[in-house]
Amino acid sequence: MEILMPEPQIYVERTLAIIKPDVIDKEEEIEDLILRSGFHIIQKRKLQLSPEQCSNFYAEQFGKVFFPNLTAYMSSGPIVAVVLARNCAVSYWKELLGPSNSVRARITHPHSLRALYGTDELRNGLHGSLSISSAEREIRFMFPEAILEPVPTGQRARDFLNLYVKPTLLAGLTALCKEKPADPM
């Protein structure tokens, strides 16, 4: 009799999500939508950033007209920073967020998170990383203790499995078969 088991999943891509100050009271509701959308929450923390920390986090936006308002808004109250993981996490998260302007999002992407929770372009409810490299930088910023090692893919992943994982599994399973325990669990 063959037992059907789900294919193991390795989530190799992570992204940063931030629940912004004006929607912090909707945290549980938003997290539920995130989980139902196929993401896994790897790390989460609630914090309040200083204006200087906000300036450092949004350094790429420095010099733009909205920068002072952005740093003032993001330091105005607590936020929740969340590391999300799934296949193609960055692109799926951006899709779930919708356009950065919440007014436009309500017209073009009415079921997106920014359409549901945002009020305008600045107070759009949630943040999402724009790329894999910005996700890594932002995760390191919000979770300095996080270990972000590059996960091997393709041939490098197969080589790693063949060199380290398979021999260990083979040795363990062979030893288990030789002992033939009455209750292997």
| Tens digits of residue pLDDT in 38-83 | 999 999 999 999 999 999 999 999 999 999 999 999 999 999 999 9
Q: Which of 152, 30, 20 is nearest to 84 (CA)?
A: 30
What pLDDT score does 149 carry?
A: 62
Reply yes or no on whether the pLDDT at 178 is more than 90.
no
Residue type, 154: G
> 153 pLDDT band (50/70/90 cuts)?
low
For the residues 30-38, what does the mean pLDDT come to?
96
Query: Would you say 150 and 54 are in contact if contact means Cβ atoms under 8 Å apart?
Result: no
Distances from the Cα of 178 to the Cαs of 51, 166, 181, in angstroms? 63, 18, 9
| Token pair belonging to 132 | 């894999």
State the pLDDT confidence band at 171, using cuts at 50, 70 and 90: confident
Side-by-side strand order, sheet with 79-85: 40-47, 79-85, 14-19, 126-128
pLDDT of res. 176: 77
Q: Does the pLDDT of residue 157 top 80, yes or no? A: no
Which of 40, 109, 111, 127 is an active site residue? Answer: 127
More confident residue, 169 or 98: 98
| CATH 3.30.70.141 domain position(s) in the chain | 14-142
- The full 3-state SS of 28-67, as one line of letters, equals HHHHHHHHHCCCEEEEEEEECCCHHHHHHHCHHHCCCCCH
| pLDDT exceeds 60 at position 128 | yes
Q: What is the CA radius of gyration of the chain?
A: 21
Which CATH number is 14-142 given? 3.30.70.141
Active site residue 127: yes
